[in-house]
Chain A
Amino acid sequence: MSARWLDDVPSRGLLLLLLLLAALILIPAFANDYLITVLILILYFAYVGQAWNLMMGLAGQLSLGHALYIGLGAYAAAALYVHFGISPWIGLWASLVIAAAAGGVIGFLAFRFGVAGVYFAILTIAFAEFARLAFDHWPWVGGSAGFFLPVANYARNDLLNLRGSPTMFYYLLLAMTAGAFLLCHVLLRSRAGYYWLAIRESPDAAQALGINLFRYRMYVVVLSAAMTSLGGVVFAFYYNNLFPEQVFHISRSIELILAPIIGGIGTLFGPILGAFLLTALAEGVGEVMRAIGLDVPGVKQIFYGFCLLVVVMFLPDGVWPPLAKALRLDGKPSQDRSGC
């Protein structure tokens, strides 16, 4: 059974993937803390991007308020830890449930009432903004003054309470990203995966075949929301402070969808590639600016915007599909269409 989901993966691709994984596992031995911080950011965006990609790539729903799930996940686990001393490994279940419920509500409203396309996107924005304002006025989690997690000592890594050095968080996020990748891969090969593909390609035909559109769309929305919330849990315990203005803000939602869009929506490797490219680009441009001495605020963002523009205009499916083709990783034609 397990061999089945390795069936149509080209061995070349598998080899490259394993090499990448090995490299990522070994990097902390050679890297300084700054590089690890950067890599943590990359893996974080790869992870939440992958979670968002699930909703977009499989259900075809553009969510512009995904920061909602990150925030809910972060605050849930953090509140339980701060107020009741509950370990984040238990707290994360609360995060999953709450985020899944939120996703469920949004999905229900959208699919039952036929809210689609840009209207759906605006709906998701509205919910995120609503959450931002609500948390801003909720004293139990600090309100707009912020929610601070107590930071004890860093001498040892306490995995149980997620207190520790950046390296610990690095490996945690690496595991999460790899796990998300594997999960998506398995899902795509499952029966649900084929149903989703069918719904995306032609909802009417799928419905005619007896596939329950509403149920499968709900599955993917709830799954995406739950996955994203775990990213929020890590966020809370890594940064140790949460401000609704920042956590739920629309710029966060936009930030996290950049990687999968640049990398390639609906592809498995897209979000990861996108995260690497964007962060490398951001840091690279920053370096160049500093080297020239033109450390003028705003210039970096403008370059960023232009690069985004270029990619959107000339590489509409993202960077990964043409790259995969160039590396001859696309294998059989059926693989192309499923977008991996």
Chain B
Amino acid sequence: MRRSIEGRGRGLNRRSVAKGLGAGIVAGVAPFRIARAQGAGLKVGVLLPRSGVQAGIGQDCQRGVEIAAGILKDIGLPDLTIMNGDTESNVETARSRAERLIGEGAQLLIGAFDSGQTTAIAQVAEQKGIPLVINIAAAPPITEQGYKFVFRNFPTAGMIVGDAFANQKAIFEATGKAPQSVVFLHVNDTFGVSMQKGIDTVLPKFNMPYKILETIAYDPAARDLSVEVSKARATGAEALLTVSRLNDAILLTRELVKQRWSPLAILSMGPGWYEDQYFKTLGKLSDDPLSFVPWYDPNKKLSKQLEDALAKSHPGINLNTNHIYTFEALLIAADAYKRAASSDPKALADAIRATDITENVSIGPGIKFDAKGQNDKLKNAAIQNRGGKLVTVAPLAAANAKVVWPLTAYDKRA
């Protein structure tokens, strides 16, 4: 169910519930049906967690789908007929929905944000010979299976970690200050643990100026992180390194305020700290955390188009990873369809394998896949929260602002 942003947190009244239900009914009648009437557009099955625990993210990715149509048309790419699939945040449902969409004629699949669900879908896709373009999923094994029909335009956990360290070093150089010690707090779920493993592997190669004093893993379902923050503070570390989700990010920030601890910096290598809900909930307390994440290059032309389109359809929402990578997945699909000039899945897969798009949105030289189907040229950015908006502070080539360092103390904020 799509809910308007105004409804959230602003008040629960009949209007917002009715609006929500109405939007839900409208969502069932997807706007892309029009494309079908216009002739054979490529049938693309989009699998996202639209219900269940990851529903919020799935709905966010859907916004990327919605703004894609207009832009793809503008740059001269063919139409796509979108078939919506709900994985219900559940691995088995993901698999059966994928089967179902293929049964209903999907010629290409896109999805699915969650690594577990994406793995299940990848198996189905490979088995049926239907190309899968992964929009978001960081677990390395997915592209290590030798699949011929699975493509990922998203960095793996290892890539995210490596770039994070590189960007951190760039920031330390720019400000002339670096923390000597950090404490690493991470959520104990698929993503958090992948990142932690990635750090263990990659950190020695980078020669960072800080030591990780302690690694503290917390339960993803935890509603109270006071113990974790106490423990982190007790290590005496200067800065906080973290991999969290939206809810944890909010909880952690609140605890930092309550326990009167303002670290030198908050270095986040995952979602949460830059999301709209974080800003809305915390107001002034949301400024200054740095997030090292797959992001868009604000200096690329297509990025500006995307920003404008989002501002028009969903004012008040910042362009983020979910929108960008979902959009790029559709971009890849449309581009391959154009080059293959056919909707035969094998031809599409071959076309995708030969993708070479330089006019894109994400940071890096463009979209190109290696032998395993992975785009290994993607670069991540360092973004910082500023007054409810996000600015890019690293890498320098994609930056549009200077970093604020150190973190403004929480008790000094009005």
Contact = CB atoms under 8 A, between A and B. Distances in A.
Contacts of A146: 115-116, 139, 190
A150 B103 CA distance: 25
A295 B97 CA distance: 14
Contacts of B55: 297
A33 B92 CA distance: 15
Given A34-B99, A239-B91, A297 B51 contact: yes
A136 B96 CA distance: 26
A241 B188 contact: no
A254 to B, nearest CB: 14
Nearest to A44: B92
A33 B103 contact: yes
Contacts of B116: 146, 241, 243, 246
Nearest to A33: B99
A281 to B, nearest CB: 15
Contacts of B139: 145-146, 148
B28 to A, nearest CB: 3
B271 to A, nearest CB: 16
Interface string B214-249: 000000100000000000000000000000000000
A245 to B, nearest CB: 7
A151 B92 contact: no
Contact of B189 (A166, A245, A292, A296): A245
B256 interface: no
B96 A296 contact: no
Contacts of B141: 148
Contacts of B115: 146
Interface stretch (B19-27, B203-211, B326-334, B342-350): B19-27
Nearest to A246: B91
Interface string A125-167: 0000000000011000001111010111010000000000110
B313 interface: no
Nearest to B189: A144
A38 B93 CA distance: 10
Interface centre among B123, B146, B197 (most CB of A within 10 A): B123
A145 B24 contact: no
Interface residues of A, number: 33
Interface residues of B, number: 43
A25 to B, nearest CB: 21
Contacts of B128: 33
Interface in A8-46: 32-34, 37-38, 41
A148 B24 CA distance: 36
A295 B27 contact: yes
Interface string B84-113: 101010111001100110110000000000
Contact of A34 (B1, B96, B220): B96
B117 to A, nearest CB: 9
B161 to A, nearest CB: 14
A290 interface: yes
B52 interface: yes
Interface centre among A137, A165, A295 (most CB of B within 10 A): A295
Interface string B185-214: 000111011100100000000000000000
A79 B172 CA distance: 43
B28 A293 contact: yes
Contacts of B353: none
B120 interface: yes
B119 A148 contact: yes
Contact of A145 (B84, B99, B103, B194): B194
A240 B190 contact: no
23 contacts: A33-B102, A34-B96, A34-B99, A34-B103, A38-B96, A143-B193, A144-B188, A144-B193, A145-B193, A145-B194, A146-B116, A146-B190, A154-B127, A241-B91, A245-B220, A246-B116, A292-B28, A294-B24, A294-B25, A295-B24, A296-B21, A297-B51, A297-B52
Given A34-B96, A37-B95, A37-B99, 10 more contacts: A33-B99, A34-B103, A137-B188, A144-B193, A239-B91, A239-B120, A245-B189, A292-B28, A296-B25, A296-B28
Interface of A: 32-34, 37-38, 41, 136-137, 143-146, 148, 150-152, 154, 165-166, 239-241, 243, 245-246, 290, 292-298
